[in-house]
Structures are given as C-alpha cells and as structure tokens.
Structure 1
C-alpha cells in the first residue's frame, strides 16, 4: 500500500514503459526516468524545426529498434532523411502525414492514437483548443508509446492537460536548454543544459588532443604565381537528386486512408 502512495515533494513513478531520453540529466528529472507512454508530452518551442528531433530523436531509436513506426503529423518542413538516418531512424520506420489545417492535424492524431497503430506519434499543433487537447490526453491513456505535441511558445500560459510539459530552446555550442514547466513532482525552475551536437558533426566539432607521434612538421608555404582571371564555363545542374521518399507502413494505410480527401493528406513525401 505504501508503494502506491505518491507525495508531492517526490517525482511520480510510472507503472508503464518509459523511453530513456538519451540525456542522463533530463532522465533524472523526468518521472519514471524517461519519456512516458500513455500520456501526452507537450514541448513548447520558440520556433519550429530547430530542436524537435535533437530532443526526441535519441529516444526514438528504441522505438525503431522494436520494429515500430515513428509517425509525424504536420511537420512544418519536409523531414530531412539523411539527418534522421544519423539518429538511427531509417525510411522504413518513418511515416510522414502531410496534414496542414488544424482540423486535419487533430483528426490524424486522434485516429493514430485511438488505433494504437504506431510506436510513437509526433504532432505539430500550432493551434489547438484546451478541449481538443483534453480529448487527445484521454485517448493517449490507451496508447502504449510516447506521444509528443510540439506547440509554440505563445501557448505557455494556456491551460494544458498534458501531465508533462517542457520548454526547449537552442543555446550556444549546439546545446539545448530544457525547462520543465509541468511534471508529476516538485517544481523545477532551473533549465537543464543538454549537450546536443548533431551526429554528423561530432567528429568535426569535438576537440581532440593530438599525440606526439601524430605531430608532423609543417612545411613553409609555397609562393603562388599570379594567374589571370578567366570566366567560368558550363552551368550547374538544376536538377539535384531527389531525396528518398519516406516509406508508408501498410498497417497504417487503413487508419490514415479513412480520412476525407478534402480533410487530410497522407503520404511519404512529394
């Protein structure tokens, strides 16, 4: 009986599966030690398309490793597949639903959460009424994976039913500042500074001390002879290679395909 009690000055415990965020400092402040399932996690951002994947990407590797799909609803920009592959997310486990109107985003999120047809749901919700969020929270209680709602910073003072609410901003040196606005536990006022160098830049940006055996003398520069400027000939190609389209999971086709064609569009890229 004592284990079932929760005191407000302690972090809440989760009886469901949690997904480690990939940041030890953040996991130490999240109830259950990671991103929770069966509830909404609301992330507020000053600007979309800057911090979403760097914050949630490391945890989604586990979802993909289990063979489940990561579903994106209404991302403001076309997902960059090479960057997602750096995070360990390949096109076989990504579903991009190009829903743009607020009603389309809400409808798609409701259907995916209700059907429990994906491993994780990421939905961009620039506009959402409190009663719509409450409906999503009720549906999320039967969804096994994490559900992330990305909302603008202007929604900070709006009421939200999400049990976990954070504010993420970009700082210098590719760091993420994450402030926990709401959680099941004591208040946490000090933002967390999380190192978040993109995978493709780690070797370039991370300094390494050279060993003495690796050092080589530097030859003096060779003077260059002057050359006359010549006009460039030829033209650059106007047709860069199109990115690989994101794959659509067959089991999600029935869920997304029930939408009114005028109400939502779903696909794996254009």
Structure 2
C-alpha cells in the first residue's frame, strides 16, 4: 500500500510504505517546498529572505546589508545612538521622501525636539504628510506607539522610546507583524547590551566628513563587521560647502601633522633667542 502526499497546490507524491523504498525515492526526487514555505525559511549563513515587503533606505550601501534590501515592514527596527535628535532625520529622510511621493503618511511619536519644518522641506519631506504625536511621558509614548502600530495607518512609524523594557519591545514586535509599514524605534546607545525582540538593530553615529556611520548589531544573517559610511550632508549645505570643507578630516590631519615636533629634544632646554648662556 502506498501513501499519497499532496501540497496545497494539488501536486501528489506517492510514498511507499516500505522504509527502504521511501529512502530510495527521496534520493531520486528531492522534496520541493511550496514558495510561501520556502520564503519563510531562513538559513543562518545568508541574509534572511524577506517574507514581507521592505522600503528602501535610500542608501545603496545600507540596502545591500539589510535583509530584503531595505527597512523591513511587519517588523521592528531599533536604531541606537548616543544623543537623540542629531541624525534621525538625515538617516530616515530618503525613505520618508519616497513614501511621501506615494501619498503615504509619516507618523512620529514623542520626538525630544519639535520637527523643523523648513529643514524637512529641504530634505524633500512634505510636512502635509507628516503627523506629529506630541507625547513626552514614557507610558504615553509607549501607548501611542502600540495603538498606531495596531491601526496600520502609517507608511512609516517613528517613535522615541528611551525607557522601554524588554517585555514592552517584545509586545510591540508582536503587534508590528500586522503593520504594513516600517516601524523604527530610536533608543539610547546603552540599550545595546540589553536583549531585544527587534529582528533588526543598528547603531548610528556621525562621521567627520559629513557622513553617517552605521553598524548592524543584529540582523537575520551573518554578523556585520566594521561600519558603513553613508554620505549625508545636512540639507542646505551641499551647495555652499567648499571642496576643503567637504572633507574636514583632511584639514584635521594636515593641522595635526604641522603640530607634531620634527626635532629631537625639549623646547624648554633651548636658550631664548638673543640671550647668551650664563657664565660661572
């Protein structure tokens, strides 16, 4: 007697009742998983295959390192930084700009400082598509973030949760699985040592030459080594920066080389100019 196995697509695979025959058949015809099951399988030695859609970050170098090639939807992303409100808009503005062009809303919850609308216009973000939820207490930020995730009404949701606990992040991750847009949480750099249910975690900081430095702390895939350098000149400065000021690191290196002593000996041991050595 043979057993017939079938997938949802209706393809039948006979399976012999004898163990030896089943092993021979397995070698002869490897099992092929349905596409929806195959897409959900993640192999640890490669970047995770996206089960849901992503939104391009706007930085080709960063997209190449993110599973799926962009900010993931139906999932949490944590970005850690030392000081808040210094690089959030420069990192997220390219993705926000693309979403605004699709007439989708950008919702921000509890930013430590009020969004600067003229600066957002220079970054290409139309303020008419920006919703600012002004809440400052940690419990209010958390509640507003959870309700907005559940409502699934934002093209991108950005929230500042510096005091969120592990179980609260886990709850938000469960809720985010039903959200069609990326959910970005900004948290302090000290949270890097804490466990988190967010599948994607990044650490962001400034570079000397107007770039953003990004290190991927956690992702579906191999560990990320080093840092990514993302060119990111603040809005309005690109047209007025001189070639010298476009690379401050070169100016710093040149000044440092001039300040280095080129002669052996201590300046304190030299006699002042115009004064003869004392006679004894």
TM-score, normalization by structure 1: 0.74
CA drift of 1:206 comes to 6.0
Question: Which of 108, 111, 115 is 1:79 aligned to?
Answer: 115
Question: Which of 128, 131, 134 is 1:98 aligned to?
Answer: 134
Distance 2:163 2:106 in 1: 22
Aligned length: 208
RMSD (Å), alpha carbons: 1.4
Structure-2 residue corresponding to 1:38: 74
Structure-2 residue corresponding to 1:128: 164
Distance 1:9 1:201 in 2: 41
Structure of higher RCO (CA pairs closer than 8 Å, 6+ residues apart) = 1
- Per the alignment, in what secondary structure is the counterpart of residue 238 of structure 2? helix
- Per the alignment, in what secondary structure is the counterpart of residue 214 of structure 2? strand
Distance 1:112 1:7 in 2: 32
Gaps of 5+ in 1: 209-270
Structure-1 residue corresponding to 2:23: none
- Per the alignment, in what secondary structure is the counterpart of residue 203 of structure 1? coil
CA drift of 1:7 comes to 1.7
CA drift of 1:32 comes to 0.5
Question: Which of 87, 90, 95 is 1:51 aligned to?
Answer: 87
Are residues 166 and 46 of structure 1, via their aligned partners in 2, closer, same or farther at CA, if it must alter by over 3 Å?
same
Gaps of 5+ in 2: 1-31, 245-280
CA drift of 1:205 comes to 2.1
Question: Which of 22, 29, 39 is 2:58 aligned to?
Answer: 22
Q: Deviations over 1:180-217 (max 9, x none)?
A: 00000000021111111123111122639xxxxxxxxx
- Indicate the structure (1 or 2) with the bigger Cα radius of gyration: 2
Q: Does 1:154 align with 2:190?
A: yes
Q: Deviations over 1:107-127 (max 9, x none)?
A: 000110001111111000110
Distance 1:139 1:72 in 2: 17
CA drift of 1:160 comes to 0.5
TM-score, normalization by structure 2: 0.72
Distance 1:93 1:113 in 2: 17
